[in-house]
Amino acid sequence: MAYNEQYGRYVGMVEETLQALLPEGGAVGPKDGEIPEHLRASMRYSLLAGGKRVRPVLLLAACEMLDGNLEEARVPAAALEMIHTYSLIHDDLPGMDDDDYRRGRPTNHRVYGVGHAILAGDGLLNYAYECLLQNALSYPLNLEGHVKAAAAMAGCAGVRGMIAGQSLDLLSEHMEPDADRLAYIHKHKTADLMTAPLLAAGHIAGADGEKMKALARFGACVGLAFQIDDDLLDLEGDAKLLGKQTGMDAKRGKMTWPSLVGAEAAREKAHALWRQAEEALACFGEKAWFLHAFAVALATREK
């Protein structure tokens, strides 16, 4: 199967699962046991706005590469996209980056107000773990694999992972660029949530220690390269294609690789990381064809 076709197949599974977990509707007035309509609408607004679905695709692809059961991985993949979407909604809030556009449309708080944008993010985060745990219970023969996957995802998204990176990112605005600090921010703010799907897939599919290490290395390199490219796109990319405003990092005084070493050196660093990502796949042989193609596609992305 060709790469684009396979990517489309994985995205189809993700969209179908997200729609099934959070369908339209909801109680108009107060009704026990249902998600209130307005809360549901604000959650769906951002979740179903058509992101690239990079993280859930990584989870499904890694699971399939490891001969895991793809059906078991559907809900964890969708849950990870919920966690990612919550982080984008909160990142766009006035108290953080105060952005007006995301995924080609007005940000959540511009449509639903700040209060409901906070709740939509909180809702997606909590619902992600509810779905993960319910899914784990429905696979009693692989309960340990699913609990380990959920724990890995929580660790990567949590207070030593993505939230820690975001905290340092906020605190570093308008500071002199510093390589160690920037490396920490990128590792946690971005790369941890790229490592999460690979670790989760490894646990669900029962990968051995050597393969877990390779998966973690691939995720870390992809995440770091992805973030440098994101910084370069903010500097040089097309806002229409990106579906969000550009030039915002400089405006906010964000610490980025281009601000630290210049655009050309940042591009070289990203290339080196993409190469390292591909090298990390060696132990999977030909089975890693999709992840190789994925790295190539992301390395040349325009959005």
Residues near ligand GRG, by CB under 6 A: 51-52, 54, 87-88, 90-91, 103, 162-163, 166, 189-190, 227, 230
For ligand GRG, give the closer residue by CB, 143 or 159: 159
Q: How far is the CB of 34 from ligand GRG (least distance, A)?
A: 27
Nearest to 201 by CA among 62, 80, 104: 62
Angstrom CA distances, 229 to 155, 215, 223, 235, 293, stand at 25, 21, 10, 10, 17
Using CB atoms, what's the residue nearest to ligand GRG? 51
Token output for 122:
């909180």
Residue keyed to tokens 């107060």: 30
For ligand GRG, give the closer residue by CB, 87 or 135: 87
For ligand GRG, give the closer residue by CB, 131 or 162: 162
Sign of CA dihedral 303, 256, 227, 128: negative
Residue 288, amino acid? A
Q: How far is the CB of 279 from ligand GRG (least distance, A)?
A: 23
Q: How far is the CB of 186 from ligand GRG (least distance, A)?
A: 8
Q: How far is the CB of 167 from ligand GRG (least distance, A)?
A: 8
Q: How far is the CB of 41 from ligand GRG (least distance, A)?
A: 19
Are the beta carbons of 271 and 219 closer than 8 angstroms?
no
For ligand GRG, give the closer residue by CB, 227 or 259: 227
For ligand GRG, give the closer residue by CB, 63 or 83: 83
For ligand GRG, give the closer residue by CB, 40 or 90: 90
Are the beta carbons of 218 and 277 closer than 8 angstroms?
yes
What distance lies between CA 254 and its chain's CA centroid?
20
For ligand GRG, give the closer residue by CB, 108 or 166: 166
Three-state DSSP string of 80-144: HHHHHHHHHHHHCCCCCCCCCEECCEECHHHHHHHHHHHHHHHHHHHHHHHHHHHHHHCCHHHHH
Q: How far is the CB of 242 from ligand GRG (least distance, A)?
A: 9
The whole-angstrom separation of Cα 218 and Cα 190 is: 14
Q: How far is the CB of 281 from ligand GRG (least distance, A)?
A: 20
